[in-house]
Amino acid sequence: MTDDPSNENTDERWMRSAIAEARLAAAEGEVPVGAVIVHEGRIIACAHNERESSQDPTRHAEMIAIQEAAKKLGSWRLIDTTLYVTLEPCPMCAGALVNARVPRVVWGCDDPKAGATRTLYEIGTDARLNHRFECVPGVLDEACSALLTEFFGAIRAKSKPRDSR
């Protein structure tokens, strides 16, 4: 696959928009997670993490995008939408996606510490819940992983004590 956008599939196209949001988060000192919600072939909501700037633990990219999309559509039911997010949703976000009736969720990289759609839990496909969504993992996984690796690597480098020799 080349970098020519005309050759990429639709999921990659929208994930690139989520990656752009994640870069905005990183520039603001937030964990670089970005999300977009697509409805009828266009983005109706885009967001990135805002936990640090707002000091609100619920300001995950997915939560903000869900709220924005609901306002845009005038309904809490986000039927006929797809959420694209750079990191596998956590339990809070996966639960909100169930409650919002989002039918399809696409993510970049898995989250081994909080992933709730495949890694630790499978909330989106749990038959005990009243709604389930299609899960599409690994879209532009390497690019999404690299954002997080670079971000946390920079934080670790800043916190290392300097050699005093």
Q: Which residues are catalytic?
A: 62
First to last CA, the chain: 48
Q: How far is residue 83's CA from residue 105's CA, in Å, rounded to a whole number?
A: 5
**Beta pairing partners, 136:** 106
The torsion angles phi and psi of 99, rounded to 5 degrees, stand at -65, -30
Helix (H) or strand (E) segment spanning residue 39: strand 34-39
How far apart CA 146 and CA 55 sit, in angstroms, is 25
Query: In angstroms, rounded to a whole number, what is the distance separating the alpha carbons of residues 145 and 82?
Result: 21
